Chains A and B, each alone.
Chain A
Amino acid sequence: MLSINNLHVNAGGTEILKGLNLEVAPGEVHAIMGPNGSGKSTTAHVLSGRDGYDVTEGSVRYFGKDLLDLAPEERACEGIFLAFQYPVEIPGVNNMYFLRAALNAQLKYRGEPELDAVKFMKLIRGLMGELHMDKKYLERPVNEGFSGGEKKRNEILQMSVLRPKLAILDETDSGLDIDALKVVADGVNRLRSADRAFIVVTHYQRLLDYIQPDHVHVMSGGKIVRSGDKSLALELEDKGYSWIESLPAA
């Protein structure tokens, strides 16, 4: 479904990605690990269409389309979802309104019938129960005054509502205690299916105890330097990132 080929990306005049290659097929869970500054978050941002990045070389194909040609909202409507490392607070926009408007925008794009308020409430109540979220979060402005854990749950709630084809989780585990981590991981695991893929960007192996990846990639210096199965994550945990930096490029 996703094919990243020799991707080079500049940000602020500095080359961050230096020839990234990655193939993701439906149903797979890929973990991307790596030290700070290795280009993990940049990869997530570029895939979701964030401004401020300049692709200088390479391509990204998504279901045969040139992903880099699509606006962020088109990518979202085509089924790409980014769970933010730092979810943005939006004062004055009600969370429930936001969720429903987002879902209906995507349904409309795909030519499917939009959900009315009653049907939406039914859907959202069930999902919030699964994520142990109080319904008061629906009445509040998007992420405003939410704790770090609540913001991350809200990201997973959005993902559960929007049911993307490709979900990219950008350090969703950062700042979470172990209970919140389990809730978030359960939310992800419930959505795992044969036609949905995940890219889980993380700094630590811990999250991967709960979300079992099919493939683990290690980034360093703007490219993937090693790929393997989940045992690679354990090896990395054991040997530390300095081990990676001593390896020759893959």
Chain B
Amino acid sequence: MFDILQQEFKTNRSMDPTWLSDFRDHNYRKFEELGFPTTKSETWRYMDLNHLRDLCYSLPKSEVSSEIFTSLRFKTHKRTLCCSFLNGKLKTVESGGVDLSSLGLDAFGEESTWLEERLDGGDISSHPFRALNGAFLDHVVTIRSESLKGAFDEVILDFVWTSAEEAMIASPRVMIEVQTGQELQVMNIHRGVACQKAMVNLATDIWVKPGGRLNYLKYEENQETHIDSTRVSVGRDGYFRGSYYGFGSAVSRVSFEADLIGSGAECFLDGLQITSRNEHSDFMSEIRHMATNTTSHEYVKGVLGGKSSSAFYGYVFVDAEAQKTDAVQTNRNLLLSQGAVANSRPQLEIYADDVKCAHGSTVGQLDESQVFYLRSRGFTEAKARAELTKAFVAELFSHLSNREVSSWLMAKAEARIAESLGEA
């Protein structure tokens, strides 16, 4: 279904280096072999991708009316680098006056060797969407703590996607490397504006080197299909904190894989998905403890209204070498309507004998005694339900240090909750 598109793409990119063309070809062949996943596959059981088949896809058009484009404005300090993209193309950069040309942000320029090595290292044997991303790899954003040269400690990527008429496939790739002893915050935001026809197929690769620290935030809203495949590798005494917010694409899938490869590596993962209407949202995580004294704490919540559905697949693997592992995995779901369905499948596989591992999962509704308590004080029923739902999600914003970002997200969450409750 992508043959014509691939030919067109290859023609347009004939000037690209050979290794990159080869990489794309290899990925394209892999995707052809694998095809789109079906519900027969265990980790795609609840996700119907039939709407993606047999479409005539086009690539993102960067020449679209910029009227739709309003970049996010957070009050940031001067050590924040804020980049806005429209259909993948860089539109604006706010860099506090720092000269960007020396920072190596152009992925296919000076970064070529670095990129070639990193891209080739990724396994795609059972990852059709990763392969598809590689096949149409175009815009790559690389963020390397080393290249930022101490000028920035926070990077905000604000992607706006739009395609109301044609079946667009976008294949953004974000690559983040935090070097030994360095610390970085990255926000990866994907907003759909008039985006009824778009499939955004994001792939993110993250390396936290020994002793490095990364706070990573991913946000997604309002696309037809949003696929996110994130891979993280955390080295010795490295720290990764990921926060995922999925606030309403018709179909969305987050797949998060983390390898804790060095002793003392830590991975904290939060997720919040709020769905309504007929939306479906998948959250799949695979965390592999490969070394001693590694920690992973995962906390994912879902709020579902209308006839929406979700699935949580959480897999924690503890290698025989990974003694003293501390792994906790929790998934909690709140159903706001009779028609909503949440599926949850936490899973542990442990080969070490001296570990602390726990997992839990709940699916429930609002507590009617709490609703009545609030109403008995004068809250309308709608307000009582909204307050209790907000209270359910509030803890997933409490760790964010940038208050403006957390307020922005909370306002988004409130709007989504109101929508979900309206359909209850």
Contact = CB atoms under 8 A, between A and B. Distances in A.
A75 B380 CA distance: 11
Contacts of B373: 84, 87-88, 90
B165 interface: no
Contacts of B367: 88
Nearest to B389: A92
A102 B387 contact: no
Chain B at the A interface: SS class: helix
A51 B372 contact: yes
Given A51-B368, A88-B369, A72 B391 contact: no
Q: Which 3 A-B pairs have the closest CB atoms?
A: A92-B391, A102-B377, A105-B378
A76 interface: yes
A92 B374 CA distance: 13
B388 A90 contact: yes
B146 to A, nearest CB: 41
B390 interface: yes
Q: Interface size for chain B: under 10, 10 to 19, 20 to 34, or 35 or more residues?
A: 20 to 34
A71 B379 contact: no
A49 B373 CA distance: 11
B395 interface: yes
A166 B383 CA distance: 24
Contacts of B375: 49, 71-73, 76
B381 interface: yes
Interface in B386-401: 387-388, 390-392, 394-395
A162 B378 CA distance: 10
Contacts of B381: 71, 73
Nearest to B377: A102
A102 B370 CA distance: 14
Nearest to A109: B378
Given A88-B370, A93-B391, 8 more contacts: A49-B376, A73-B375, A84-B376, A88-B373, A92-B392, A92-B395, A101-B379, A102-B379
Nearest to B394: A92
10 contacts: A81-B376, A82-B376, A88-B370, A92-B388, A93-B391, A101-B387, A102-B378, A105-B378, A105-B383, A141-B391
A158 interface: yes
A84 B368 CA distance: 15
Interface in A90-114: 90-93, 98, 101-103, 105-106, 109
